[in-house]
A and B are shown apart, each in its own frame.
Chain A
Amino acid sequence: MSDTIHTAHGTGATGTVPPAIELRGIDKRFGAVHANNSIDLKVEKGTIHGIVGENGAGKSTLMSILYGFYQADSGTIHVDGKLCNINGSEDAIAVGIGMVHQHFMLVEPFSVLENVILGVEGGAVLREGVDKAREELRRLEREYSLDIDPDAIVGELSVGLQQRVEILKALYRGAEILILDEPTGVLTPQEADHLFRILGTLKQQGKTVVLITHKLREIMAATDNVSVMRQGEMVAHRHTAQTSPEELSELMVGRKVLLRLEKGVANPHSTVLQVDNLCVDTSTGVRKVKNASFTVRAGEIVGIAGVSGNGQSELLEALGGIRAVSEGQVILNGQDVTPGRGVGPAELRQRGVAHVPEDRHRMAMVTNFSAEEAAILGYQDDKAYQNGLLLDWGKVADATRHMMEEFDVRPADPHLKAANFSGGNQQKLILAREMMRDPDLLLVGQPTRGVDIGAIEFIHKRIVAMRDAGKAVLLVSVELDEIMSLSDRILVMCDGFIVGEVNAADANERVLGLMMAGVDPKQAEAEVGK
C-alpha cells in the first residue's frame, strides 16, 4: 500500500473507487515539535482502518487536522477523491466526517434525542425538529442495531451506551467516515466486543471507520488495514491479515519489545495493609466504596480490576489520605491510620505510603512547574531539601537529576517545564519521586495510562522490582492486560463492592470481564465453562 501515492487527481491508477480519505504530505509543527512529518495516508472506502502508534507519535494531531481542530502547515486532504479545505469541525461534518472523542461531548442531563439534535435542531421551534429527529433516530438505530432508548437521560446511561450516543450523533449528522479516538479505554471487554460488532455493521453498510488505538489486540481483531505512526512519521501501512502484533509493536517502537512481562513467583510475608469494611462517600454523599475488606502483604502485588468509575479511584484516593473514610478502618503495619480522622496524605507519606495517583495531570504534578519543582511535590517539607528557612534548589536539582538518571527520564533536565516532557517521561519522574523513597506500601493507579510501549515495559519492571524488594504494592488499573500481567492476586470491583478475588495465575479474561460486570465469581466461571 505504502508505495501507491498518486499524484493524479486522487483516483487510483486502476480507476477504481477513490479512497474515502487521502492525506498527502500533511505537515504540522508545534514550536520545536514536529508532530506530523509529511504524512501520507489512504483509507479505502468501506473498511475499518486502524492507526496505531505510541503516545506522542502524532496520531491525535493527524486526526485533529482531519477533523479541522488544527490546520496543517502544508499538505492536502482529499475526501472521496475531492480536494477539501477543512478549517473547522463544521467543514469536516459537511464532507461527511464524524468523530467520537475519547472524552465524550455529551450533555448529561439531556435525553439521548436532545443530545443527538444539539446544534442541528432545525429551526427556532423545537417540536418540529424533534419529531423529525425521532423518526430518523429510530431508523438509524434499527439499521445499525445500536439498541438505545431515545428518551433515556444520557447521564444515567452506562459508559458503553454513552459512546453509542456519540456514534449516533455522528451518523445523524450524515457521517460517512467515522473517526474513533481510543474508543475502548473506558469499556469492559464485553462492551468493547459490542462496539466492534457495531463497527462491523457500519462497515457492511458502506461506512468507513478510522480507529485510533494503542491496543494491538483490537487492531488485529477489528481492522482491515492498519497504519503505524512513530515520532510524527507514518512508518508503515499493512493489511491486518498479513501482519502480527509482534511486527506492529516493533514498527511502533522501532525495536523488539517484550509483550509479556517476565516475573518470578511472589514471596509474600507479613501483612502491610489491612482494610476492614471500608466505606467511602463522595462530597455529595454518594457511596462509592462499599464495605471493602482486603489485605496487601509485603512482597506481593494486589491488582484491583474494574471498569472505571466503579469505586477503584475513590478507594485509592482514600488509602492515599486524600479522601476521608466514612466507615471502616485502615491498618498500616499494625497501626490504625484511617484517613480523615486526623490522618492525611502528609502523615501517610511519613509512615511509608507512596502514592502514584491515577490522573497525573490532575493530581500528581503541576504542569507549569519545572521538573525539579514537580520532583518534590509531597516531599516539599523534607529536611533534605531545606537550607534553614529557604528551599535549597541546588539540592533539589541534584535529587531530581538522580531520579532522572535512575528512571531514565528524558531529557534529563531538571529545569525544563514539566508540561514539556512526554507522558511517559512525566510518569517516570512521578514514579521515581514516589518509589525512590523506599516506601513500605506503594499505591499505584493507572501506572501506564498515556505512556508509550517502551516506557510501559520499564515501568512494569520497576513495579515488579519493588515487589521483589519485599514491598507491598496495590495496583489499580482499567487495563485488564496490565492487571493480569503484573498482579499476584486480583480483586475485582463493581459498583463499589469487591465482588471477588482471583489468583492471578489462574485468572481468565472472560471470567474477570463477567465479574467486572457484577456477576458472582462462581457463576462467572460456570458461565465461561459452558
Chain B
Amino acid sequence: MSDSIQLPRWIDVGVLPLMNLVLAFLISGLVVMAIGENPTEVVRIMLYGAFGYEEAVGYTLYYTTNFIFTGLAFAVAFHAGLFNIGVEGQAYVGGLGVTLAALYLNWLPFPVMLVVAILAAALFGAAWAYIPAYLQARRGSHVVITTIMFNFIASSLMVYLLVNVLRPQGSMTPESAAIDENLTLPYIHNMAAWFGIDMASSPLNLSFVYALVCCVLVWLFIWHTRWGYAIRTVGANAAAATFAGIEPGRYIIMAMMISGALSGFMALNEVMGVQHRLLIDFTAGYGFVGIAVALMGRNHPFGIFLSALLFGMLYQGGAELSFEIPTITNDMVVVIQGLVILCTGALEHMFRPRVTKIYTAWRLRQKTQEAA
C-alpha cells in the first residue's frame, strides 16, 4: 500500500501555504465585517502600515528578525523530532548572556564585543536548552513538558535577577542598567548614512543581517553536513539512526543546544539592538510565534524567512491598524494573527487531500492527452 503520493514542491511549499493563508484572511475578513468595518479598507491599511513607507518597512523587518531567529530555533529541534516549546525561555536567558557580556566586559572594542555577545547569547540559550535536552535524551522525560516548565523557571529566574541583582541602585524599574552606547548594534538607517544613503529611522539593526546569515548557516548545517544528516535521521527514524551508529541521545542534545543558541540570538536584536538594556519579558511571545513561523515555513530556512516576513507584516501592519481604526483593538489584531497561525500551522493538512486529488486528475488528463 503506497503512501500518500508526493506532490511537486511548488504545490507543497507554494500553493498549499498560500491557500491556507487566503483562508485565514477570508475568515479574518468575516470577523472584521462582523464588527462593522470594511475588510478591504482593513487590508489596505495593514499593507500600507507594513510596507507603505520606509519607516514601516524598517519596523516590519525588525519584527521579522525576531521571527527568523525563533523560527530557525524551532526548526532545528524539529528536524531531530523534538518539539521545542522552550524557545521563549531560551531567548530570555540568552538575553541575560548578552546583557552580562555588554555590562561587565564593556571595555572591549565593538567588533570584539560583537563576537563575544553572539557567543554569550548562544552559550546562555544553549545552556538553558541543555537541561531539558539531557532529560529527554538520557532519562526519557518528554521535551515538550520540560521546556514548558523551563519557560516558567526562566521567567521567575529573570524576575529575581532583574529585581534583586541587575537593577541599578536607586532605579525603581525592574530592568538592567543601560548598555554603553558604543557597544550597541548599529541601526540600519545609521549604517546607510555612512554610505550617504538617507533612510527613515527605525529599530531595524545589524542583527537582521545576522539573521539572514543564520538562515544560510542552518540550511548548510541541516542539509549539507554529516551532523545535520544525523539529526534528520534521528528525527525521522530513531531505530535507523541506532543501526547507523548514530547515537540518538547525542544528537538530541546537539539539536536542542543549537536550537537554544538560535533562540538566544533573538536577544541580539532586542537587547543589544533596540532596548539597549535587559527588560522584563522582553521576549513578548516571539518564541511561541516562532513555532508557527517554522511550521508554516516547512522548517526550511527560506520558508522561515518568508513566513517570518509575513508575521513581521502582521505585527507592524496590525499595530498600525489598531491605531487607525479604533474599533479594531489590539485584541482584534491578535485574533487575525491567531487565525493565520491556526490555518497555516494547525490546519496545515486541510487542503492537502483535495489538492492531491485535483493534481492527480490533472496529471492523468495530461498523460492521456499526450498518449492521444
Contact = CB atoms under 8 A, between A and B. Distances in A.
In the A-B complex, the 6 residue pairs with the closest CB atoms: A346-B245, A31-B5, A345-B245, A378-B244, A366-B236, A363-B243
Interface in B199-220: 220
Nearest to A365: B240
A380 B5 contact: no
Interface in A320-344: 320-322, 344
A389 interface: yes
Contacts of A364: 240, 243
B236 to A, nearest CB: 5
Contacts of B236: 366-369
B364 interface: yes
Contacts of A29: 360, 364
Contact of B2 (A33, A368, A377): A33
A461 interface: no
Interface of B: 1-3, 5-6, 220, 224-226, 229-230, 232-233, 236-237, 239-240, 242-247, 360, 363-364
Nearest to B7: A31
Given A29-B360, A362-B240, A377-B240, A390 B245 contact: no
A411 B204 CA distance: 50
Interface of A: 29-33, 35, 60-61, 64, 320-322, 344-347, 349, 355, 357, 362-369, 373, 376-378, 380-381, 385-386, 389-391, 393, 417, 419-420
Pick from A355, A357, A363, A376 the residue with the most CB of B within 10 Å: A363
Chain B contact residues, majority secondary structure: helix
Contacts of A345: 242-245
B2 A30 contact: yes
A362 B244 contact: no
B239 A363 contact: yes
B243 A322 contact: yes
A320 B243 contact: yes
Pick from B226, B237, B240 the residue with the most CB of A within 10 Å: B240
A373 B243 CA distance: 15
B225 A391 contact: yes
A362 to B, nearest CB: 5
B6 A60 contact: no
Contact of B247 (A35, A344, A417): A344
B239 A389 contact: no
B11 to A, nearest CB: 13
A365 B233 CA distance: 9
30 contacts: A29-B360, A31-B363, A60-B1, A64-B1, A320-B243, A322-B242, A344-B245, A344-B247, A345-B242, A355-B243, A357-B243, A362-B239, A363-B237, A363-B243, A365-B237, A365-B240, A366-B236, A367-B237, A368-B236, A377-B233, A378-B243, A380-B230, A380-B246, A381-B226, A385-B226, A389-B225, A391-B224, A391-B225, A417-B6, A420-B6
A31 B360 contact: yes
Contacts of A376: 229
Contacts of A386: 226
A366 B3 contact: no
